[in-house]
Amino acid sequence: MSTSIDDMNIPDLSQNLKSLLFKRYEWYEKELLISLKKQGDVSLTTAQARALAVLNGQSSSISALARSLDISRQAAHKTVSRLIELDWIKLEESDKGNEKIINFTEHGQQKRTIIKEHMMRIENDIAQSIGTERYAVLVELLNADWNSLKAANPTELNP
């Protein structure tokens, strides 16, 4: 006899905001990587694309990158090593002793420009699909300061 999820009283969380945002994030990321690969401009793994997104053209330590991505330092090192091989980034000495700082190479900055062009195409497609007004509202809502939001009862979140 098989037991269904409904029989176990497991709540369906697939339609909550977190799930919906994550699903759309994954879709966007997949579309971007496919677009880049089709054009022959860039071929990246999901891990590399996420690292580049977190770095956003700025300098960072490998430790900070690992924390931002919520991955181990070893995983961050592996991703960084591959991006160095691709000449996207380089490691430079830091003022803090043995810590290395990630910086973008000129080639990496040029590739970021190509990625931006692909992102603009995807976002234009989204705007055409959902309507330009709705797209503008979506961007406005995502840019809003959500840190200022307060829970109705903060003790419920922090027992």
In residues, how long is the chain? 159
Q: Which two tokens stand for residue 139?
A: 């961007």
Q: Where are the domains of the chain?
A: 44-104, 106-145
| pLDDT per residue as tens, the chain (159 positions) | 555 656 677 888 878 999 999 999 999 999 999 998 888 877 888 999 999 999 999 999 999 999 999 999 999 999 999 999 999 999 998 887 788 899 999 999 999 999 999 999 999 999 999 999 999 999 999 999 988 876 555 555 554
HSE (CB half, 13 Å, CA atoms) of 68?
Answer: 15
| Token digits of residue 131 | 């309507």
Q: What are phi and psi of 102, to 5 degrees?
A: -85, 130
DSSP designation for 146:
G
Task: Provide the whole-model pTM.
Answer: 0.76
Strand order in the sheet with 100-104: 60-61, 100-104, 89-93
Q: Name the token pair of 50.
A: 């996420």
SS3 35: helix
- Strand (E) or helix (H) holding 73: helix 73-85
CATH number of 44-104: 1.10.10.10
The residues near 74 (Cβ < 8 Å, ≥ 6 apart) are none
